[in-house]
Amino acid sequence: MLSPKMEQALNDQINAEFFSAYLYLSMSAYFVATNFDGFANWMRIQYEEETQHALKIYDYINDRRGTVVLQAIEKPQTEWDSPLEVFEASFKHEQFVTGRINALVALAREEKDPATESFLKWFVDEQVEEETSVDAVVQDMKRVQDFPAGMFLLDRELGQRQAEASAGGADAT
């Protein structure tokens, strides 16, 4: 069973993951509106992954006989000045999420909850991947931001991204 403190923290993380999904969906909408369909696709896949992360925690709380308490999701930002600004905001957000996951690991240790600490290892590893992925796009954008053909090609490249079959789903380990 989960301690009340751990259960609350995991419920808060479900909310944070759904906010992340909402933020990425907003970023995708921004890119659709500005005719960057490849960037929109990349963000839409991020939205799907974040939703799966939330559901992974949801299932874990239920598996541990805890109570899932869904909370209101904050309204995400909807406007940015450039595609680069969107991806830089995404990178900053992933760093924030990494901090949240690290705090959950610290709490699991404090609560002497090795099962939850083990469960969270997947998220620790996932955050390394998330930060690396978005930072690579930021660096590519910085290289081509003043070269319209380069932005066109990068948009086309990111449009090729496909969702992973079980990106963070309940069966992923």
Q: How far apart are the first and last CA of the chain?
A: 20
pTM for this prediction: 0.91
CA 3 – CA 99 distance, rounded (Å): 21
Q: Is residue 39 a part of any domain in this protein?
A: yes
Phi then psi dihedrals of residue 157, to 5 deg: -60, -45
The three-state secondary structure class of 27 is helix
Overall domain count for the chain = 1
Q: 33 is in which domain, residue-wise?
A: 4-158
CA 88 – CA 128 distance, rounded (Å): 16
Q: Is residue 135 a part of any domain in this protein?
A: yes
* Sites in the chain below the pLDDT cut of 50: 167-173
Q: Is residue 166 a part of any domain in this protein?
A: no
The reported pLDDT for the residue numbered 150 is: 94
The reported pLDDT for the residue numbered 170 is: 43
The answer to whether the CB of 155 falls within 8 A of the CB of 37 is yes
Q: What is the CATH number of the domain that holds 105?
A: 1.20.1260.10
